[in-house]
């Protein structure tokens, strides 16, 4: 059982590590962060190779989200920039744009 939400990321990715440091500042201890390289065994419901493709957010109530939704939901849960997650859920087209942007960055992160 989790005490707080935990965001799992690729600890070998320098782009990912830079962004995690930003999120740590924005979320002010309300979200835990763990690299999948050391956390994957604790979350066997997700195949290990999937952790290398996207971030995952696991919440104490069992909810799981991935990719752009995980990023935005983590900020929402931390009480930061909540309007972005609201827009993701309610404004037509925002989810598609955010997820497409996330996929683009994820595919090209080694160049960023």
Span 81-93, pLDDT tens digits: 999 999 999 999 9
Whats the size of the chain, residue-wise? 112
Determine the Cα–Cα distance for residues 73 and 48; give it in Å rounded to an integer.
22
Q: Which of 25, 8, 6, 9 is nearest to 77 (CA)?
A: 6
Q: Cα–Cα distances in Å, from 59 out to 12, 22, 83?
A: 23, 20, 20
- 29-53, pLDDT tens digit by residue? 999 999 999 999 999 999 999 999 9
CB atoms within 10 A of CB 34: 17
Please say whether the beta carbons of 23 and 74 come within 8 A.
Answer: yes
Using a cut of 0.75, tell me whether the model's pTM lies above it.
Answer: yes
């Amino acid at each position: 059982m989790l005490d707080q939400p935990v965001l799992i990321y690729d600890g070998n990715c320098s782009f990912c590590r830079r962004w995690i440091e930003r999120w740590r500042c924005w979320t002010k201890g309300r979200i835990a962060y763990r690299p999948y390289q050391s956390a994957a065994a604790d979350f066997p419901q997700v195949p290990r190779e999937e952790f290398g493709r996207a971030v995952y957010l696991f919440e104490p109530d069992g909810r799981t989200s991935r990719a752009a939704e995980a990023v935005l939901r983590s900020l929402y849960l931390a009480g930061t920039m909540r309007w972005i997650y609201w827009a993701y859920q309610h404004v037509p087209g925002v989810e598609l744009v955010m997820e497409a942007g996330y996929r683009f960055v994820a595919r090209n992160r080694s160049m960023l």
